[in-house]
Structure 1
């Protein structure tokens, strides 16, 4: 069984917390992707991709042009870790299953089903937890 986790979730959380911090300091100017990338030490192409996903999920607002950049679309207190996960990993499950084995038979199928059922239950529990944690909870 192979499980894979992306760093996009922690990058997305970091980006949102960084934007929030600057907005709290009365810096209401839009933040450039370049500045966010440099300050958080996230490669520029990755920053662009994560921010695009955050924009698509309506967690951030992007403004084009010379004075453009990124702002939060809603208060940090209204954004959960699950919101960020669903934004940066659209359509992806928390657990990726490896079930393409050459072994065959009823017992193999039953084991694969138990693995799937177990990880799906864990994913539901994890999602329930992540939707309870607001990003402001991370600042306390």
Structure 2
């Protein structure tokens, strides 16, 4: 697979922000605290948080009392939302097509490979769309 660990890190970050904001009633969380508590390096945490913010899953506030909050309730976020935030535009499968063989049969085989792998990727995305982040807390 071509995906990084950013998906599981993004899910963990969102679940952590949710749990802490429930306990402490709406405080912004610092990147450093998130990084330390989830054992994710600070640069990686910053990168994942930037992706989550760009996708409008989190809101960031600069300054001494700044940090990160969820942009909307966890119940309104799906695994697909997180996936699309942290892996934008990446194809699930990298396909080798640079072969010396040529001809109609080779082209037909390549097309069948593309068709089946695209179908698998669509099935994965549909599966991710069905799972709300709150489902992970049950």
Structure 1, unpaired ranges of 5+: none
- Please give the TM-score of this superposition, normalised by the length of structure 1: 0.92
Please tell me whether residue 134 in structure 1 is matched to residue 136 in structure 2: no
Q: Which residue of 1 is the match for residue 89 of structure 2? A: 91
- Partner SS for 1:85: helix
- Partner SS for 2:4: coil
Distance (Å, rounded) in 1 between the aligned partners of 2:24 and 2:82 = 24
The answer to whether the Cα contact below 8 Å between 2:10 and 2:48 also exists between their aligned partners in 1 is yes
The answer to whether the Cα contact below 8 Å between 2:3 and 2:87 also exists between their aligned partners in 1 is no
Give the root-mean-square deviation of aligned CA atoms: 1.3
Of the three residues 19, 22, 39, the one matched with 1:21 is 19
Q: Which residue of 2 is the match for residue 106 of structure 1? A: 104
Deviation at 1:4, TM superposition (A): 1.4
- Please give the TM-score of this superposition, normalised by the length of structure 2: 0.93
Structure 2, unpaired ranges of 5+: none
Kindly provide the CA deviation profile for residues 78-109 of structure 1, in whole angstroms up to 9, marking residues without a partner as x. 00000000001111123332323333333222
Q: Which residue of 2 is the match for residue 11 of structure 1? A: 9
Distance (Å, rounded) in 1 between the aligned partners of 2:103 and 2:38 = 50
Deviation at 1:27, TM superposition (A): 4.2
Distance (Å, rounded) in 2 between the aligned partners of 1:66 and 1:96 = 43
The number of aligned residues is 138
